[in-house]
Amino acid sequence: NAGVTQTPKFRVLKTGQSMTLLCAQDMNHEYMYWYRQDPGMGLRLIHYSVGEGTTAKGEVPDGYNVSRLKKQNFLLGLESAAPSQTSVYFCASSYNPGKNTEAFFGQGTRLTVV
Amino acid sequence: AQSVSQHNHHVILSEAASLELGCNYSYGGTVNLFWYVQYPGQHLQLLLKYFSGDPLVKGIKGFEAEFIKSKFSFNLRKPSVQWSDTAEYFCAVTAQRGGYQKVTFGTGTKLQVIP
């Protein structure tokens, strides 16, 4: 049972380059999330999705785009990477956070923008 | 908007000491509460959760938390910590917002247990 899988695990980008982070879950969860984790700031929500074909902005959406074309996948895109986007990115999924379920997290992607 | 405060940013304890990590949230409606743990280099894992019922909830590895509604608190406790408890701990709350459930995390508390 894979749970939540993120690819890649590590990446170094040059300023201005673009990339896509992939999140896949095999638990048939409706909700999916992208967070970034920075020292002293905890986890901040970038974007989230409440179901296939839907996306919504979180706390820090600028510079990122997302897509949820299939229920099991949630993609996070950086169109033009900036050093401020150096961070650890976590994907998570949940059936429905209000229905007595918790979020399950992926292993994280460590992104460095130089 | 809902928010979560963890006032202890870095806690250092000796093995066998007792642990209490504070978590306060602000939201006027019904909430679900969680504690997650992140061991060094790993992803977040659920320690325990509260949805309703007994306000004292027990989680994995000997952790427990008490929901005190009047204080908007959900503090994490463990009677005797071990070196293997060294990790970062996050409190989280979900609340109904405009037809969907939003999850908000605190900034985390780093726990260092000295052998």
Q: Name which of B46, B105, B107 is nearest A40 (Cβ-Cβ).
A: B107
A-B CB pairs within 8 A amount to 53
Q: In this structure, which long-range contacts are made by residues A104-107, counting pairs with CB atoms below 8 Å and at least 24 apart in sequence?
A: A104/A3, A104/A4, A104/A25, A104/A27, A104/A29, A104/B46, A105/A4, A105/B36, A105/B43, A105/B44, A105/B45, A106/A3, A106/A4, A106/A5, A106/A6, A106/A23, A106/B43, A107/A5, A107/A6, A107/A9, A107/B42, A107/B43
Predicted confidence band at A12 (pLDDT cuts at 50, 70, 90)? very high
CB contact under 8 A, B94 and A106: no
pLDDT in tens, chain B (115 residues): 778 999 889 999 999 999 999 999 988 777 889 999 999 988 899 999 998 899 999 999 999 999 999 999 999 999 999 999 999 999 998 876 555 667 889 999 999 999 9
User: What tens digit of pLDDT does each residue of A83-101 get?
Assistant: 999 999 999 998 876 566 7
On the CB side of B78, CA atoms within 13 Å amount to 25
User: What tens digit of pLDDT does each residue of A64-87 get?
Assistant: 999 999 999 999 999 999 999 999
Rounded Cα distance between B87 and B64, Å, is 16
Residue B74's pLDDT is 96
Show residues of chain A in contact with B92, CB under 8 Å. 103
Residue B103's pLDDT is 80
What is the chain B residue with the closest CA to A35?
A: B105
Mean pLDDT of A3-26: 96
Residue A76's pLDDT is 98
